[in-house]
Amino acid sequence: MNIPHALAQVIRRSPSLSKLLEATVELVAREMGTDVCSVYLLEPAGRRLRLAATHGLDRRALGKVTLEPGEGITGIVVSEMRAIAVEDASKHPSYRYFPETGEEQFHSYLGVPMAIRNRPVGAIVVQSTDRRRFTRDEIETLHTIAAQLVGVVENARLIDALDHPDRGNRYLEELRSWRRETGQRDSENGEGEVVYHGNAASPGIAIGRIVFRGRYDPPVDTRASNGGDPARERERVDVAMEKTLGDVQRIQEAAEKETDEEHALIFSSHLLLLNDPTLEMRLHEAVDEGLDAAAAVDRVFATLESQLGNVTDAYLQERAEDIRDLRDRLLGHILEAGAQERIAQSIVFAHGISPSLVVELKVQGALGIVTERGGMTSHGALLARAMGIPAVTGVEGILADVHSGEDAIADGQTGTVVLRPAPRTLVRYQKKAEKVAATRSRLEKLRDEPARSTDGEVLPLLANVSLASEIREAVFYGAEGIGLYRTEFPFMIREDFPTREEQSRIYRRALTAFPDGVIQFRILDLGGDKYHPRITRADELNPVLGYRSIRLLLDHPKILKEQVRAFVQVAGRRRIGILIPMISSLEELRRARELIAEAIGEVDDDTVERDHRIGLMIELPAAVEIAAELSRQVDFLSIGTNDLIQFTLAADRENARVSPFGDPYHPAVLRMIRRTIEAGHGAGIPVGCCGEMAATPDLAALLFAMEVDNPSLTPRAIPTVKDAVRRVRILPLRKKIDEVLALPESGLIRARIREELERTK
């Protein structure tokens, strides 16, 4: 029988959710020939999984058995949103049984998650007394059933909530902002533990005190008078300015040591403002008009902020954030001396994750970052990953719920943030953190080992870098070269352009660190989310689709050529790769190549190599379509999946709210990658992949199976990917690649990859 078809009939006929679930579990158990079928639903209130329907377990347990996501095998199915199939459940490390259900007699277990987008709703589980091995078809069938059921369950709950506001409010609140989950109350101190979910932007677990950044909590009396003593208040303003200047300079110096000099300039707009005589004058004027020091700061900065208006442009937003930051620092010194000192050993909560914030927090020894805005591939997030600071971004509404000084946990692995954790939760996370640290040190030992699968296939792993500190990490974690050198940072953080000599000095570090490996410098990819105050436009409605990247550089050939000359000069006799971003057409490529060739020809040094490898990034769906033609014009391709996903699925990579839509497992994305690889290989050139997706072990294995030549990834992810590759056979997955990519939904693809890899371990 076709179960999904039968289930559709059941759905049509069932008068209520409970009847529907009952009919479903009967149907599934009968048709799949299992002894048990149960549905567990995640309750918004309390966020526990509750047994909602069963065929085969003791019915007295219905509604009574509850478990936390992450607890038992079913809890893992839900918390990790993946199917688990085992022949003998009692051998699974997370096995636990509930005596009231009588389930200890059942051996084989198959559970699949029920989810809407990435929001978990529950799980559907089948069990049998025999030790049977569930087939791939069975797993897929259960996935299809879960997908069918989940919409109906959610609709029924919604209607129930509307009919019964008393019990339904919580559910409605959950629907409005599903990221927010209210956890168990901490019985020991009477304070509620609250769990939020955001983007797992940078791995690692931080456990510590909360400190705010970019928001000053204590209320400022905006009209407080100086009591007729302007001289004293002026003095307070001046002292605060001086102390703040000292703070910023100190951070800058520390940042120089930590990240090499170019990044210290990140604080240039702070310094410019602090040294701006007009700012000082405005503050003094406000005091002279009768305000006290704090009120004067508040008023002057409010005016500055309002001058920037309600900007949507990200560059201006960052400047507005710099201004807010300065205001908070000044008020910190006026109202509460040393307010900024607490960052060390704390978790910093802020609105956005700007590169300057990340650098500063690293320097100050913050444990982690939690922000309301930002996705996984925004530049602040990339930087946090590069610097090894755990970060969770895009946690909407969390700032309104936190108080500085409280405890929190930020899990950058899963994107979970726990506020006011209960003692039990703290212990759980401390153990997890220890485990993560132990795994890290085990993985670091793989540095000199190749990423060789158990069936002997070798995947060379290259590194994505943009900072000198990442180059050091790339060496440390055993990268074989640099697949993507993002050259934008030195350009983004200053008003002028770095000279050719300055650029050469920066690029030289890559060549010295990898005397033999591949080095691929990318031509400036400014615009979109990477701003330059002079040449990118701040007034575009949609800068990501705007005047950016290679479009912009073709209009500024001098900048492009100067950069290419810097590459060539610094490479000397060595052959390097020059990577062109955002190509959308052959015309564009031709023009870019002409300029590159001219620049190389113009280098005034007979000893330098001039025959460099020219490659292009496949980041636009248009480029995928013409990949075969493009491939004939270049020496290599590199697939930029961060942008390819963003443009294919219309999911802004900076917008946390749509990040679940930017799904790398989407069949459209994976099929495009496959076609690109085939097009490149058809033209006899290598194809790399330098988007973040290569840093996810299962996806890296899939890329490997699709015969990508040399993926390039965040240095810190190299050991994890290496470890994953070294545990599996790749050829069986390669043989099945057509089947995998023919699956119509990302959930099915994700499950299938997992299953194929598990099978070959």
User: Which residues belong to the active site?
Assistant: 379, 690
* Least distance from Mg ion to the Cβ atom of residue 655, Å: 16
Question: Would you say 492 or 705 has its CB closer to ligand PEP?
Answer: 492
Rank residues 103 and 619 by Cβ distance to Mg ion and give the closer one. Answer: 619
Q: Which residues pair with 617 in a beta bridge?
A: 638
Asked if 39 contacts 52 with a C-beta cutoff of 8 angstroms, the reply is: yes
Q: Which is nearer to Mg ion, 230 or 527 (CB)?
A: 527
The number of residues making up the chain comes to 761
**Tokens 């109906």 sit at which residue?**
152
DSSP category for residue 275: T
CA distance 64 to 45: 15
Q: Are 243 and 251 in contact (CB under 8 A)?
A: no
User: With respect to ligand PEP, which residue has the nearer C-beta, 325 or 643?
Assistant: 643
What are residue 54's phi and psi, to 5 degrees? -150, 145
Point out which span in 17-25, 413-421, 641-649, 714-722 binds ligand PEP (CB under 6 A).
641-649
Q: Which stretch binds Mg ion (CB under 5 A): 127-135, 540-548, 599-607, 642-650?
A: 642-650
340 binds ligand PEP (CB under 6 A): no
- Rg over alpha carbons for the chain, rounded to the nearest Å, is 28
Does residue 640 interact with Mg ion by CB under 5 A?
A: yes
> Which residues 362-381 are close enough to bind ligand PEP by CB under 6 A?
377
Q: Does residue number 642 form part of the binding site for ligand PEP (CB under 6 A)?
A: yes
Residue 486 interacts with which of Mg ion, ligand PEP, none, CB < 5 to 8 Å by class: ligand PEP
In the chain, count H helices and then E strands. Answer: 29, 23
Residue with tokens 């005589």: 277
**Partner from Mg ion, ligand PEP, none binding residue 484, C-beta < 5-8 Å depending on class:** ligand PEP
Q: Pick what 226 binds: ligand PEP, Mg ion, none; C-beta below 5 to 8 Å, kind-dependent.
A: none
Q: Is 527 in the site for Mg ion (CB under 5 A)?
A: no
**Residue 691 contact partner, candidates ligand PEP, Mg ion, none, CB within 5 to 8 A by sort of partner:** ligand PEP
Secondary structure of 313-348 as H, E, C letters? CHHHHHHHHHHHHHHHHHHHHHHCCCHHHHHCCEEE
Binding mask 680-699 for ligand PEP (x = CB under 6 A): ----------xx--------
Interface with Mg ion: number of residues (CB under 5 A) = 3
Q: 12 to each of 8, 20, 724, how far by Cα in Å?
A: 6, 9, 44
- Name the segment binding Mg ion (CB under 5 A); options: 135-143, 194-202, 428-436, 639-647: 639-647
The residues that bridge with 207 in the sheet, in sequence order, are: 409
Q: Does 619 bind ligand PEP (CB under 6 A)?
A: yes
All residues at 6 or more sequence positions from 217 whose CB lies less than 8 Å from its CB, including other chains: 404
The span of 111-119, 360-368, 383-391, 641-649 binding Mg ion (CB under 5 A) equals 641-649
Q: Which is nearer to Mg ion, 107 or 530 (CB)?
A: 530
Residue 122's binding partner, choosing from Mg ion, ligand PEP, none, with beta-carbon cut-off 5 to 8 A by kind?
A: none
Q: How far is CA 103 from CA 100, 108, 409, in A?
A: 8, 11, 35
Q: Which of 293, 462, 484, 724 binds ligand PEP (CB under 6 A)?
A: 484
Q: Which is nearer to ligand PEP, 122 or 375 (CB)?
A: 375
User: Are 568 and 608 a contacting pair, CB within 8 Å?
Assistant: yes
Write out the DSSP string of 169-224. Answer: HHHHHHHHTTTEEEEEE-TTTSPEEEEEE-EEEE--EEEEEEEEES---SPP-TT-
Could you tell me how many residues of this chain bind ligand PEP (CB under 6 A)?
11
Q: Which residues of 387-417 are buried (b: 16+ CB within 10 A; e: fewer)?
A: bbbbbbbbbbebbeebeeeebbbbbbbbbbb
Site for ligand PEP contains 35 (CB under 6 A):
no
Give least dist CB 653 to Mg ion, A: 9
Interface positions, 591-620, toward Mg ion (CB under 5 A): 619
Contact residues: ligand PEP, CB under 6 A: 377, 484, 486, 525, 619, 640-643, 690-691
Contact residues: Mg ion, CB under 5 A: 619, 640, 643
